[in-house]
Amino acid sequence: MIGQLREVLSRDPVRGANLLNFAGRYELESCRILGASVLARGTSDHAWVYLLPASRAEGARLLDELTPEDHFLVGFDAWLLEALKERFRIEWTLACMKLAWPAGRSPEPPTRPVRRLVDEDAPYIFEHSDYQAFTDVPYILDQIRRGIGGGIEGPGGALAAWALTHDDGAIGFLHVLEPFRKMGFGMAVTNWMIRRVLDEGRVPFVHIEGSNEKSLGLAARTGFVPAGEVWWVKGDLRQG
């Protein structure tokens, strides 16, 4: 199944990177390939359904495949989200811009020492997260163990800045404590993360909300370029 999935996703490696990374970390429970489109199910913090249609017609076919047990969905097309709203009762939506690292480009070396994150960092990262409504300590701990995470320590030894990859391989959770902002900490840890992802032979990419101008500016200065969008939805199929 993974071999066939990899073949389909390789036609657009940046668009398919999320699902390919997810499938590499968590065993897929099911995968439907319809033409050039994919619907895949797997569980990390939730039982996620990935929807990657190659066209609007195939997107409608993917939506036909949803079941009452499907509550957490991931997609990459605004038009698919609009189509989903007609048959899915949505509790919440998180939508972000996707920016990817250009092929063949090397990141700048970090200007500060960066260390790998360890299990003990998970509660501290959650405590300072701006997205506590969407995450928890077990999820952060799982990502530290399965993925890539780096942090910069302040003068007292506590973390001053950090980032780690999500369940789909996106570089995220970037956070710099207030006293250490505008000192290059965010850029340093981001460049360190990019190099680690490239060393694994993967595509570095980030997800940033369109209203987060500071993070978008940092991503652009680092070298990321726009690569579409991504959305996450929680809800259930409408009845009747």
Angle at 93 between CA 51 and CA 54, to 5 degrees: 20
Task: Tell me the whole-structure pTM to 2 decimals.
Answer: 0.93
Tens of pLDDT along the chain (240 residues) come to 677 898 999 999 999 999 999 999 999 999 999 989 999 999 999 999 999 999 999 999 999 999 999 999 999 999 999 999 999 999 999 999 999 999 999 999 999 999 999 999 999 999 998 888 888 999 999 999 999 999 999 999 999 999 999 999 999 999 999 999 999 999 999 999 999 999 999 999 999 999 999 899 999 999 999 999 999 999 999 875
Please name each of the domains of the chain with its CATH number.
Answer: 2-99+230-237 (3.40.630), 115-202 (3.40.630.30)
**Which sign does the torsion angle of CA 211, 18, 12, 57 carry?**
negative
What is the rounded distance in angstroms from the CA atom of residue 101 to the CA atom of residue 218?
13
What is the rounded distance in angstroms from the CA atom of residue 82 to the CA atom of residue 74?
13
User: Per the structure block, which two tokens stand in for 25?
Assistant: 């970390």
Strand pairing category for 149-153 and 205-208: unpaired
